[in-house]
Amino acid sequence: MCGRFVRSSPVSTIIEIFHVAAASFELSSSYNIAPSQDIVIINNTGTRELIKCRWGFLPSWIKNIPETSPMINARSETIDEKPYFKEAFRKQRCLIIADGFYEWKREKQKKIPYYIRLKSGKPFGFAGLYNYSSCPDGNKICGCAIITTESNDLVASIHNRMPVIVSENSIDMWLDPSFPDYNVLKGILRPYASEEMEMFKVSNTINTPKFDSATNILPTTEE
């Protein structure tokens, strides 16, 4: 699964790489994004848009929003079968913008945090699903989930799952809500190439979600 990630690139970089219009909201860096927090996604409702969304997905048929725990991850293997995600997979796919993500390795009684990113240092898009849920007060909330797959050789050394990173040549297809071939779309949901990624230990301070600092992603030798 993916339970924490980082988005540190400035909005100008995101606009340049993903070819979206300037955002109409402030976009500060976040080095310890946790579930239920606001994140930024790119969707396509005719043009690519950079919008705010909450990390946690609820399907449209959920009525008791306060009593339901949103899902933060969706498994790629069953995404076109599970009623919870099936409709969003067909029509409401998105990119969840990130610069890297955290994963923990179990060593005896300890959980050692690692930071994983692209060697290029560029931001990327997790494959995601989004939806709008109606609140009792009439407002609508955008919620989303990160799609996960089996780990590549790099990440497999610490965990058996990883988030799907959409390659640059698949972004148009993934974001197109009218793309008709769901088998082709599922083919996008595969492990990213290990040779294009890097991973290293980071400080245990990231275990506290409120600790949000650029020092979170610095390599460490602490035990």
Just list the catalytic residues. 2, 103
The two three-digit tokens of residue 103, written as one number: 């994963």
φ, ψ of residue 215 in degrees (nearest 5): -70, -15
Burial of residue 221 (CB within 10 Å: 0-12, 13-18, 19+) is exposed
The two three-digit tokens of residue 80, written as one number: 């076109």
Q: Nearest-CA neighbor of 5 among 34, 29, 36?
A: 34
8 Å CB contact between 208 and 165: no
